[in-house]
Amino acid sequence: MSIVVSATDLTKRFGSFTAVDGISFEVLKGQCFGFLGPNGAGKTTTMHMITNFLPITQGALSVLGLEVMTNARVVKARIGVVPQENNLDTDLKVLENLLVYSRYHGIPLRQARGRAMELLSFFQLAEHARSPIEQLSGGMQRRLLIVRGLINEPELLILDEPTTGLDPQARHVIWQKLRQLQAQGVTLILTTHYMEEAEQLCDRLVIIDHGRILVEGTPRDLIRKHAGQEVIEVRLRPGEDRERCLETIGGTVPEGAEVECSADTLFIYSADAAKILTDLAIDPGRTILHRRATLEDVFLRLTGRELRE
């Protein structure tokens, strides 16, 4: 399979601050590739380098086989960008936004109009073609941003947090449309901090933090490798710490399991949680939760539980 994006030792510094610190990755054609990370991890900066919005400080980055910085126009003509910030043109109505944007891409008007209407109906926005932007809901504006990113029939679509701030209905519509696009052969790169989104959409993903890639793999492999099959959450009682709690419920860390403790919860990661549960002497009245391991467990184990603001 051909390589759509290839980054080697990609680095971005702003003055003395290193936002992206020597990352390497490859995105294959037809894949949906995810960048997961807490706020400030370097996701958006990486997207900005791929779309040539920001110059690269160091390293090599090729998109569609072309070195981005020396082929900016060609690359931009062949990729679609859905930015995190809503930069729809509020001076123009919905359809006008798309027609003016087509001009930037050099698409002839008649062709642009056809393509715009087609995409608007695909994203269930056709009846809003003549609406001002402010009259659209958040979900509709986000869909319009995706439509705009697709107006030049890109081979690669880059989505920076495409569903942040949307309600579940709006989010599911976008997921469904993105899966359809992928089925049509469009390669997708997306950033998100919704684990569910990554599990739903991504074939492969990297978890990045402090500008570095921590792990890379398929969602399923990452879960198996870093969080096991199942998780037991044991809520701590007031004043209790990790050792006291373990003592109360059975003594030591169960064999074959890993234990982690946050402020008020003990997490036991294990392949066979049912057995551990029967072995533990859970005292009556204590809150426990037995569930399947998710990408969120992987994420929190790798990036830590402290707040990022």
Partner 1 sequence: MRERAGPRQPVMARRSSRLLPDLTWRAVTVWYRDARVWTTFYKASVIGNLGEPLLYLLAMGWGLGRMVGTVDGVPYIQFLAPGLVCSTAMYAATFECTFGAFTRMTRQHTYNAILATPVSLDEIVAGEILWGATKGFLSGAAMLLVMALFGLVTSLWALLALALSFLIGLLFSALSMIVTAKSPSYDFFSYYFTLAIAPMFLFSGIFFPVGNLPQWAQTVAWFLPLTHGVSASRDLFAGEVGWRIASDTLWLVVFFLASFIVAVREIRKRMVL
In this chain, which stretch among 31-39, 98-106, 222-230, 274-282 interacts with partner 1, using CB under 8 A? 98-106
If 0-12 CB within 10 Å is exposed, 13-18 middle and 19+ buried, where does residue 178 land? buried
Supply the minimum distance, in Å, between the C-beta of residue 65 and partner 1: 9
Nearer to partner 1, 64 or 246 (CB): 64
In this chain, which stretch among 2-10, 173-181, 190-198, 253-261 interacts with partner 1, using CB under 8 A? 2-10
Q: Report CA 200 to chain centroid distance, whole Å.
A: 10
Contacts of 304 (CB under 8 A, 6+ apart): none
- Where does the chain show beta strands of DSSP type E? 3-14, 17-28, 32-36, 58-63, 66-67, 79-82, 156-160, 187-192, 204-209, 212-217, 230-235, 257-261, 265-270, 288-292
Count the alpha carbons within 13 Å of 58 in the hemisphere toward its beta carbon: 10
217 near partner 1 (CB under 8 A): no
Supply the minimum distance, in Å, between the C-beta of residue 194 and partner 1: 23
- How far apart CA 26 and CA 133 sit, in angstroms, is 36
Which residue in 147, 144, 194, 149 sits closest to 36, CA to CA? 194
> 20 pairs with which residues across the strands?
12
Instruction: Using the CB atoms, write b or e for 33-59: b if 16+ within 10 Å.
Output: bbbbbbeebbbbbbbbbbbbebebeeb
Supply the minimum distance, in Å, between the C-beta of residue 125 and partner 1: 18
Nearer to partner 1, 62 or 192 (CB): 62
Supply the minimum distance, in Å, between the C-beta of residue 85 and partner 1: 6
109 near partner 1 (CB under 8 A): no
Which member of 96, 199, 203, 240 binds partner 1 (CB under 8 A)?
Answer: 96
Nearer to partner 1, 62 or 163 (CB): 62
- How far apart CA 25 and CA 39 sit, in angstroms, is 20
In this chain, which stretch among 7-15, 174-182, 197-205, 290-298 interacts with partner 1, using CB under 8 A? 7-15
129 near partner 1 (CB under 8 A): no
Nearer to partner 1, 61 or 266 (CB): 61
167 near partner 1 (CB under 8 A): no
157 near partner 1 (CB under 8 A): no
- Which residue, chain included where needed, has tokens 């894949």? 31
Q: How far is CA 145 from CA 35, 131, 162, 184, 303, in A?
A: 19, 15, 9, 19, 30
Supply the minimum distance, in Å, between the C-beta of residue 183 and partner 1: 24
Supply the minimum distance, in Å, between the C-beta of residue 58 and partner 1: 5
- How far apart CA 188 and CA 168 sit, in angstroms, is 21
164 near partner 1 (CB under 8 A): no
111 near partner 1 (CB under 8 A): no
Element housing 127 (H / E):
none
Q: How far is CA 244 from CA 236, 261, 289, in A?
A: 9, 12, 19
- How far apart CA 15 and CA 96 sit, in angstroms, is 39
Of residues 36 through 95, those in contact with partner 1 by CB under 8 A are 51, 53-62, 67, 69, 72-74, 76-77, 81, 83, 85-92
Supply the minimum distance, in Å, between the C-beta of residue 13 and partner 1: 9
103 near partner 1 (CB under 8 A): yes
Nearer to partner 1, 106 or 239 (CB): 106
Contact residues for partner 1, defined by CB under 8 A: 6-9, 14, 51, 53-62, 67, 69, 72-74, 76-77, 81, 83, 85-92, 96, 100-101, 103-106, 149, 152
